[in-house]
Amino acid sequence: MRRILDEVPSSNIGVVFDPCNLIGQDVSRQDEIVDSSLDLFGDRIILAHLKDIYAGSEGYRHGVPGGGLFHTADFFRKLQARKPMLDVSLEEITLPVFNETVALLHSLRS
């Protein structure tokens, strides 16, 4: 990603930061991965994609933010420090979890 941003130095190209996709199966290194990603392309992030990482019998899967292994509060704190007021897209938000997700986002904002 950094190479693309360097080779095409256009303000029209930005990064949608999806940390859970970058973490993959390497959940134990998630803080290091988030930090290094923010260092590499944090200045070009235009949107953050928020979801969570859940462990199951078949490995890891992604889902609704806030109930899994992803360090959501730490991620939001770091993101806010680098890109205040950044838009965030959410994954798998359905009506039954909508209110919980909104409450989570409000708690992280304060």
Smallest Cα–Cα separation from 35: which of 67, 91, 74?
A: 74
CA angle (67 as vertex; 79, 78 as ends), nearest 5: 10
Q: Give the model's confidence band at 65: pLDDT under 50 very low, under 70 low, under 90 confident, else very high.
A: very high
Report the candidate in 40, 94, 39, 44 with the shortest Cα–Cα distance to residue 64: 94
pLDDT of res. 110:
67
- Enter the pTM of the model: 0.89
- Asked if pLDDT for residue 93 goes beyond 80, the answer is yes
Mean pLDDT along residues 29-38: 98
109, pLDDT greater than 80: no
